[in-house]
Structure 1
Amino acid sequence: MHTRAQVYSPLQNTAVWLAAWLYNVESTDETIDALTDLGGTHTFDGAPMVQLLHDVRTAADLESPEPAVRLVLWGPGQAPRLRADSPAMEALTQAGALVVRGGGANHILVPDYSADGVRWRWFEDYEPLPEPEWLTPGEADQLLSRATNEAAVLIEAAGGTRKELPNPRLAVGTLADFYDTPGLPAGVTPRAAKLFARADRVAATIETVTERLDDHTFDPHLFALWRHVRSARMAGVSDAVVDYRREYMRA
């Protein structure tokens, strides 16, 4: 099982850029450029990305107290918070989904990433979705930090990794930079940015050990971190989106 699919999704930054655009923090051109960096050419029912943006703006309830855009990630030990047996659930890939809150409906955007770009599918669900974890950034950060420390203690007690890179710290740093590309839009809360950075760092460390060092001795300890990395990303997105709404309502 490839590590990156479990600890990284371009949907994290896609969700934040989409929210920044919805709340008029970022322009359409800047948003499309960022989304292109996050996956190449985006299409929706054969139409270009601008059509998807138009439909999202039409559907989104920007005054809803719940986040207008929510990130859905899932993996081992963590079910996606979508309705079981729904068309959206059946279409879901490892990359996850975005939920756009609309008046009376949840609009679920499911991407399919390939070498040719990103193809989006749109589903509407009028039934209540399973409740998200609704972790605060502080709670998500604490859980991720605690799990990371526990894994480090277990790995150190077992004697550390069996193979070495010429410069492991450099490898981790390079991967952390990859996870952060192409960056975040303006106005992201410091809490969310910090949480994303920690999640990137932990994800890069996991990938360095399992993929670059090719050492799977500690997989059970590292795999337990996957859920907390995903939860941190979802919590950070929610915090950023709610803050965009707060500033929007003040204007």
Structure 2
Amino acid sequence: MTSPRPTLRHSLREQLWSPVQNSTLWLGWWLHGLLSTDEIIDAFTEVQGPAHSLTVDPGSGDPFDGEFAGRPTGLVDLFRAVRAVTSDAPVSVQDRPLVGLALAGPGDVPPLPAGTRGAEAVVASGAGITVADVDPEITHVLVPRLVDRSLVQWTWYRTAGPVPALTVYSPGDADLILREATETAAALISSDGHVPVPHRGPRLAVGALSDYFGLPGLPAGVSPRSVKLMSRADVVASVIEVARESAVGPSLDHRLLPLSRAVRTARTTAVDHAMRELLR
């Protein structure tokens, strides 16, 4: 008996791009004193949405002694919480960044202790922001959920335990993986007799989606190598979506799943590299 073919668990755009990517960088820039609180509030409002709330997952313990219980919360509370847990965390190029991008999808596990509620939440949503702690075996993670299309509800999870050993890529390695995966997928799709993009204006379709994936902007001073890698991921993500919107799109999942994984690798690598470059 053969196992079922994997499918895209989330919508395609959630698999290929999340505003959490850009929000992680804005948050990191603020933590390192490169932005004012007003600027980070404006950035989160533009990137994620106009209204935000913060809750603490009851199954993760409450690192804030119930401070947020029973009252409305917002972005200022979120930023204060991140500042509090990272205040004594080590800061160097060799240490884990104060914040990081966590993505999950078929073939990918988030950089969090396995089996924890935080890891499960990232798998369920597809994206989250990891937050460092002075204790190397404690990782916090913020997971957003859109409520009623207007409110971004952030849930704070505290996870304990060693983080799974993950392969660390340089921007050059991640870019190579992305290019090789793209070439392999294109060759396999062609060999199957499929046309990977619609006949009507594929370049315009890819360009329009690239604009979608690439918005909104990034904080000033992000490493050019990181920007280039995220831009290439935007283009590949757009090609994947255009391919799946073609007449044969649903039959291409088994070709596109490895490519979507390469896109996620590129994005997490780009964010990690940008955060480390701040310390050089």
Which has the higher mean CA deviation after the structures are superposed, 179-188 or 147-156? 147-156
What is the number of residues matched between the two proteins?
246
Deviations 1:211-241 (A, max 9, x none): 3656233322112201111011100010011
Query: AA paired with 1:33?
Result: D
Assess, with a 3 A threshold, how the Cα gap between structure 1 residues 141 and 163 changes in structure 2: closer, same or farther: closer
CA distance in 2, matches of 1:30, 1:100: 20
Assess, with a 3 A threshold, how the Cα gap between structure 1 residues 25 and 165 changes in structure 2: closer, same or farther: farther
Residue equivalent to 2:215: 181
CA distance in 2, matches of 1:35, 1:135: 28
Q: Equivalent residue of 1:108, what SS?
A: strand
Residue equivalent to 1:52: 78
- Is contact 2:91–2:97 with CA below 8 Å preserved after alignment? no
Which has the higher mean CA deviation after the structures are superposed, 227-236 or 165-174? 165-174
Offset at residue 179 of structure 1 (A):
0.7
CA distance in 2, matches of 1:20, 1:200: 22
Offset at residue 42 of structure 1 (A):
1.8
Assess, with a 3 A threshold, how the Cα gap between structure 1 residues 164 and 227 changes in structure 2: closer, same or farther: closer
Identity of aligned residues (%): 39
Query: AA paired with 2:129?
Result: L
> For the aligned residues, what is the CA RMSD?
1.9
Higher relative contact order (CA 8 A, sep 6+): 1
Q: Equivalent residue of 2:35, what SS?
A: coil
Question: 2:38 pairs with 25, 29, 35, which one?
Answer: 29
Residue equivalent to 2:228: 194
CA distance in 2, matches of 1:42, 1:18: 15
Question: 2:104 pairs with 50, 60, 74, which one?
Answer: 74
Which structure has the bigger radius of gyration?
A: 2
Gaps of 5+ in 2: 1-7, 56-71
Which has the higher mean CA deviation after the structures are superposed, 224-233 or 154-163? 154-163
Q: Equivalent residue of 1:236, what SS?
A: helix
Query: AA paired with 2:253?
Result: D
Question: 1:42 pairs with 38, 44, 52, which one?
Answer: 52
Offset at residue 200 of structure 1 (A):
0.6
Q: Runs in 1 of length 4+ with deviation above 3 angstroms? A: 157-160
Deviations 1:129-158 (A, max 9, x none): 223332111111110110001111222333
- Is contact 2:197–2:242 with CA below 8 Å preserved after alignment? no
Query: AA paired with 1:107?
Result: H
Query: AA paired with 2:83?
Result: R
Offset at residue 89 of structure 1 (A):
2.4
Deviations 1:54-76 (A, max 9, x none): 11112112615221111111111
**2:141 maps to 1:108:** yes
User: What TM-score comes out, normalization by structure 1 length?
Assistant: 0.90
